[in-house]
Amino acid sequence: QKEVEQDPGPLSVPEGAIVSLNCTYSNSAFQYFMWYRQYSRKGPELLMYTYSSGNKEDGRFTAQVDKSSKYISLFIRDSQPSDSATYLCAMSDQAGTALIFGKGTTLSVSS
Amino acid sequence: SAVISQKPSRDICQRGTSLTIQCQVDSQVTMMFWYRQQPGQSLTLIATANQGSEATYESGFVIDKFPISRPNLTFSTLTVSNMSPEDSSIYLCSVQHGYGYTFGSGTRLTVV
């Protein structure tokens, strides 16, 4: 079993839809959880950062962490064609250590 | 957040040759991380580079193949040595800065 599991998709939705992206993990020591967006031929860009359990909202994006279930989610409301990208979950057990990534989910939003 | 300048952005290399990738950060950082992203795969950590000491390599990656330089707190290089087609991948550097981690734009390497 990989440390971080993420459904690679692809996921196709119409503009305006609510998108749900998920990752599960096996290491209960993970405390820092991140979501990155990666456009084609670009480096990953940090979208959301969460420490421990709970929810965090930033504009159209909401990140949820459920440590008891070892499950994290990213919700995108009112999805736009510009949201079409690969979304990567990432996590670590200590601040300053390297991240462990999921495979990434490819999202396509059609207008 | 920190800004990383990574180059080259892409290269096509002959097998058996070496390529050095550079990352310059606009602020001083303690740790720099080097990742590889193969097609359809997640980012895999190659090594962690701390200024003034030898890099720490992950299982499956060795210094002779991927030597790393970290001469100061804003700069690092990764060399991919004696390349084979299996080394074709995207290579990324990363630093932690405040909350989260910043990544370079990546080097897309094709070995022919």
CB A104 within 8 A of CB A10: no
Chain A, 38 to 57: residues with Cβ < 8 Å from chain B are 41-46, 49
Within an 8 Å CB–CB cutoff, is residue B107 touching chain A? no
Average pLDDT over residues B41-52: 91
pLDDT digit string, tens, across residues B26-45: 999 989 999 999 987 889 99
Closest of A57, A54, A61, A86 to residue A76, by C-alpha: A61
Tell me which chain A residues have a C-beta less than 8 angstroms from the C-beta of B94: 99
Instruction: Give CA–CA dist B10/B87, Å, rounded.
Output: 13
Instruction: Give CA–CA dist A75/A95, Å, rounded.
Output: 25
What pLDDT score does A53 carry? 87
Give SS3 for A12: strand
Query: What's the 3-state SS for chain B?
Result: CCCEEEECCEEEECCCCCEEEEEEECCCCCEEEEEEECCCCCEEEEEEEECCCCCEECCCCCCCCCCEEEEECCEEEEEECCCCHHHCEEEEEEEECCCCEEECCCEEEEEC
Closest of A53, A50, A56, A44 to residue A87, by C-alpha: A44
Whether A46 sits inside 8 A of B31 (CB atoms) is: no
Query: How does residue A1 score in pLDDT terms, banded at 50, 70 and 90?
Result: low
Has residue B99 got a pLDDT over 80? Answer: no
pLDDT digit string, tens, across residues A87-109: 999 999 988 889 999 999 999 99
Average pLDDT over residues A25-39: 95
Give SS3 for A91: strand
Average pLDDT over residues A41-63: 93
